[in-house]
Chain A
Amino acid sequence: MTELLVIGLNHKTASIDVRERLAFPEGGIERALSRVKSFPSLKENMILSTCNRVEIYAAARETEKAIHDLKEFFSQYHEISLKEFEKSLYTHVGEEAVRHIFRVASSLDSMVVGEPQILGQIKSAYNMAVESKTSGLILHRLLHRAFHVAKRVRTETKVGNSAVSVSFVAVELAKKIFGTLEKRTVLLIGAGEMSELAARHLVSGGIEKVLLTNRTYERAVELAQEFRGESIPFEEMNQGLKKVDIVISATDSTHYLIEHDQVAKVMKDRKQKPIFFIDIADPRDIEPKVGDIENVYLYNIDDLQKVANENIQDREKEARKAETIVQGEVVKFVNWYHSLEVTPTIIALREKFEAIRNRELGKILSLYPTLTEKEKQSLEAMTSAIINKILHDPLTLLKQTDEEAMSDLYLDVLRTLFQVSEKTLGESDTEKEKED
């Protein structure tokens, strides 16, 4: 019987360095999908590759073999020895795999829990699998359920509503000041992980243009390339202040780079257009008094952190609600998955009974060649009714059993008692696939 599995790594288990090396470039995914498909150990597969996670979802014919094959595939495809990343990999099988994708789609497993982009990324990963014909019955159903769960989590909880990271708070504040971020410009002063992250969030929030400046001009140029922005010399920072809407400052300067009187003057040139300063530096880059000027909003890293912390508490409550939704949906999916397993058994069982009936009926009919057409039909109907009546109760019980352990047991007993072999099951399974 096929089994669902996911193997991969994410921001929690692997460093950005490892993630980058194992990521699949968008153009290469199609090829990767069909290469994975060629492994006989699995039937269906889908590749999800974002900057925070790289995962392969699969319906495996032989679970252990498939896990091994996929690990080898990661290693060969990216030309990295397995040893370098094996401890970053996680593998979930069966119910755990279902729970995993439901949580990922609902953004409960994201670096910033509740961020909405992951759903879109999963959708395009799924579309690619559909186009490459590497997804089948099981992944179709799994993904559609995952989208459904994500929608429920989004509408029934407030998980996505609050900004819980400093950079998201910055984006939210910017939106409360400027409305939409389209056509807005941000100036990045200095470089650092935090400020780059904030800038990246602003860009994905819709910011149109990024200006950069740094004491060492080369570094500014380098960063500008990364953001597809524009670098300006450090001495011309004031010119930049006149043009931009948002300023993120993160230098290691020991004195204020931006002072009250300077900004007051800039504001006149700006015709009082609002400006949002984000001071990420420690010690501060921007004189706190700057925040007193009209139409100037100044937040430092601690202010942002405070807002984020308040939101985290709200969000944790909502995340617990979301986990409950996920759990309920996992149970539903597993039940469905199970019915898949039951169905071939039933088919095989019916086929076996039918074969017996035909054989015995054939014997009788050849013994009494004088039977009328009507009598023959009666015999047909009677034998058929006997089979149906005998099978009715056990099959009903089997279909209705919700508890996995019990139905597994019943299936096992049925298979053993009636000698319905795995081979027969496998055959009817492939037939079913052809029908799809």
Chain B
Amino acid sequence: MVESLAMNIHFFKFASFLYLFGTLAYLSYIIFLKDTLSKIAVAVVSIGFAFHTLALLTRYVEAGYTPVTNLYESLSFFAWMIIGILLIASLKYKVKVLGSFLTPIALILMLFALALPKEIFPLAPVLKSFWHPFHVIFAFLGNAIFTLTFCCGVMYLIQEHQLKSKRIGAITKRLPPLNLLDDLSYQSLKFGFPLLTLGIITGAVWAEYAWGRYWNWDPKETWSLITWLLYAALLHQRLTVGWRGRKAAIMAIVGFLAVLFTFLGVNLILPGLHAYSNW
């Protein structure tokens, strides 16, 4: 029991180690623009992802429940999804610098998780629900996709600023074309928004089982509603008014800040029903 418990942590640490190297390779790529570096980065991150998957699987077997019940597990799961999204996006869009933005975020989440207690506890009764894993998986998948939207937004603003201020040089060369960034941002929003919506709905269903009410207005619920409204507004503006570019990029960044606050800020600052464990 103890040995296999150590196993998932070992896998996790090894995955973090590989992500560190992947991040370094991606950062060197954006500096030197050597294709070899990006190939190394993709390879290392893919192997890291495989080990990370192993870590999640062993922990699932070990704990006997989907390991998304405390902050350590959530951070790990979030980072895993971000890397997964990166690998999928790298296959579909040939935007190599995407990794230079996404891997550092995943790495920070991993390092944060490493500092947290990692013991497996018996599942709290409130989390013993058919709906809970779905709620968390949808919510985090949505969040991971919004991380991509966020990175596109940041890249867009930088690139747009360079082009508007007519400073054409190293940065312009390294960042993708505006049109591609805007397109990727829009596509990811179209995937992320339904997932967030599903996450909130399954959460409400779970809440009904757990607490007897669909909606309790606890801080997490309130903030996820705010997040949802922000993304709903962005999607609406894009669809109807033809918002694009700068405004959409700023909104995607604001939306992501709301995501982060809903995920971390609420747990750390505001007490509520979601604070079912200390971490």
Contacts and interface: CB of A to CB of B under 8 A. Distances in A.
A176 B177 CA distance: 4
B163 A173 contact: yes
A422 interface: no
Interface string B195-230: 000000000000000000000000000000000000
A177 B247 contact: no
A143 B178 CA distance: 40
Nearest to B169: A310
A310 B178 CA distance: 22
Contacts of B120: none
B129 interface: no
A274 interface: yes
Given A291-B164, A297-B164, A299-B166, A178 B179 contact: yes
Interface stretch (B49-57, B134-142, B237-245): B237-245
A307 B168 contact: yes
A308 B169 CA distance: 11
B178 A176 contact: yes
A421 B172 CA distance: 66
B158 to A, nearest CB: 12
Contacts of B241: 271
B247 A274 contact: no
Nearest to A310: B169
Nearest to B183: A179
Given A176-B177, A178-B179, A272 B164 contact: no
B164 A274 contact: no
Interface string B235-261: 000000111111100000000000000
Contacts of A176: 159, 163, 168, 172, 177-178
Contact of B245 (A169, A272, A310): A272
A175 B177 CA distance: 7
Interface residues of B, number: 20
A179 B164 contact: no
A307 B178 CA distance: 19
A177 B180 CA distance: 9
Interface string A176-215: 1111000000000000000000000000000000000000
Given A173-B168, A176-B172, A177-B163, A274 B243 contact: no
Given A173-B168, A177-B163, A297-B164, A272 B178 contact: no
Given A176-B159, A176-B163, A294-B247, A272 B172 contact: no
A272 B163 contact: no
A179 B177 contact: yes
A291 to B, nearest CB: 7
A274 B246 contact: no
Interface string B153-179: 000000100011010110010001111
Contacts of A294: 245-247
* Most central of B163, B172, B176 by chain A CB within 10 Å: B163
Given A173-B168, A291-B164, A297-B164, A179 B180 contact: yes
A295 interface: yes
A308 to B, nearest CB: 10
Given A173-B168, A271-B242, A297-B164, A179 B247 contact: no
B240 to A, nearest CB: 10
B177 A272 contact: no
Interface in A305-323: 306-307, 310
A95 interface: no
Contacts of B166: 299, 303, 306-307
A418 to B, nearest CB: 55
A295 B245 CA distance: 7
B97 to A, nearest CB: 13
Contacts of A271: 241-242
Nearest to A178: B179
Nearest to B163: A297
B185 to A, nearest CB: 13
Interface string B48-75: 0000000000000000000000000000
Nearest to B177: A179
B228 to A, nearest CB: 25
Interface string A261-301: 00000000001111000000000000000010011010100
A310 B168 CA distance: 9
B179 A295 contact: no
Given A177-B177, A179-B180, A272 B243 contact: yes
Contacts of B177: 175-179
A344 B245 CA distance: 70
A274 B247 CA distance: 13
B37 to A, nearest CB: 15
Interface in B177-195: 177-180, 183
A295 B164 contact: no
Interface string A138-166: 00000000000000000000000000000
Given A177-B179, A178-B179, A272 B169 contact: no
A272 B159 contact: no
Interface of A: 169, 172-173, 175-179, 271-274, 291, 294-295, 297, 299, 303, 306-307, 310
Given A173-B163, A271-B241, A272-B244, 9 more contacts: A176-B159, A176-B172, A176-B177, A179-B179, A179-B183, A274-B244, A294-B245, A303-B166, A307-B168
Closest 8 CB pairs of A and B: A271-B242, A179-B177, A179-B179, A179-B180, A307-B168, A178-B179, A295-B245, A303-B166
13 contacts: A176-B159, A176-B168, A176-B172, A177-B163, A177-B178, A179-B176, A271-B242, A272-B242, A273-B242, A274-B245, A294-B245, A306-B166, A307-B168
